[in-house]
Structure formats: structure tokens, C-alpha cells
Chains A and B, each alone.
Chain A
């Protein structure tokens, strides 16, 4: 089975712009979670989607949003980018009925 894929792998944006990141889970997995990872903060939970519904949300401002499609693929959007949004954004998928998370390689976002 193919692993979790994320696109793009690298992205450079300017402050004030918006960005959309994509995540394709492992085939058959319906839960997708998003995380932000920075050197100082470690991994921080953004949100989790299951069957196109957000069922968990972390403590991030409303500029961070997401959605999930019927094929379980998920997108994350960040509007009005700030310098502090520079981070590695990871998504992870979980099989139905399971609790093991499988991470993708991440998208490295740099905001200048």
C-alpha cells in the first residue's frame, strides 16, 4: 500500500498570502489529522477529519481551516500568512477502528 502523501513538499509564501496544502491518506483510512511542527513547540495538533467531518480541533486561530473530501483526501488552508506560520505541516491517517497514526513526509512552509 502506498503511504500518506503530501503536496507540495516545499512552499515559500509572502506574509499576507494564503496557502493550501494537500494530504492523501493511505487507501482505506478515513481519518486524517493535521499537525504543525516548529523547532520550539514540537508537534501541535491542528484538527482531525473523519468522513468529511471535523471531529477534533486544536487551539489555532481561525486562519487555519481544513476540509476532507469524499475520497478521504484532505486539504488545509492558512489565510493571511504570518511569519510565525513557517513550519513543517504534517498530516497523519488512521485506519477505521484503529489508533495507530501513519504520518506523511510533511510540507515545509516558509513565510517571508
Chain B
């Protein structure tokens, strides 16, 4: 069964601290993995996207890693800011024989950064 699990469910950190969010998946056939940031009441915004051959990808203070062997990904946030308070969603795409994609969403990690 295609599944994406994220941990922790929620996280509270102090401004300026680093944190790491986890994503484990069982999706086949794997096409790519994306991390989204979603502010409350808004649509998700893409942070990074990684294919099978990519191990690390950065976007400013956000760094995503992918281990395709263990089917794990992490999102590391460096020097957190108040504006990082949001939900972070891991999405894994499976390539279908029809040439389209199936998207499997994790339930997200809710991050709160305190001053």
C-alpha cells in the first residue's frame, strides 16, 4: 500500500534553533519527493523536489535529504525564524503506466517557532 508517514506530528522550537522533520514512505514506483510549506489557511508552496538520484537539495535555510534505499527523507531548517511557523507536508509521486502521476501526501508536521 502506498503510504507516506511524517514525524513528529507537531514541534515547538525557539527562534534561531535548528530542527529536522522526517518523512518515511512506501511508494512504488517512486518518481520524486517534494516538501511543501503551508501557512494556515493558504495553499502549499513547494520548497524542494528530489528525484531518485538526488541525495540533497537546498532552498535557502531549508535542506532536504533523500535516502532512496531506506525510503526516508528529512527536511532540515537552519536558524529558524518566526515565519517558519507552518505545516510542512511531504509528498511522494508514483509514476503510473498511463504516463500520469499519483501523489501520496503525508499528514504533515506542524511547526511553531517561538520568540
Residues of B within 8 A of A103 (CB): 36, 43-45
CA distance A17 to B108 in the complex (A): 31
CA distance A38 to B65 in the complex (A): 28
Q: Please list 12 pairs of residues, one from A and one from B, whose beta carbons are closer than 8 Å in the complex, sorted by A's number.
A: A42-B106, A43-B44, A43-B89, A45-B103, A56-B100, A90-B44, A92-B43, A99-B31, A99-B32, A101-B103, A102-B46, A105-B43
Residues of A within 8 A of B93 (CB): 99
User: Could you say which of A42, A56, A106 contacts B43, with CB atoms under 8 Å apart?
Assistant: A106
Task: Verify A42–B107 contact, CB threshold 8 A.
Answer: yes
CA distance A41 to B32 in the complex (A): 22
Main SS at interface, chain A: strand
CA distance A43 to B36 in the complex (A): 12
Closest residue on chain B to residue A55 by CB atoms: B100
User: Could you say which of B102, B106, B107 contacts A56, with CB atoms under 8 Å apart?
Assistant: B102
CA distance A108 to B31 in the complex (A): 31
User: Could you say which of B34, B43, B46, B100 contacts A104, with CB atoms under 8 Å apart?
Assistant: B43
Contacts of B90-115 to chain A: CB distance below 8 A: 93, 98, 100-103, 105-108
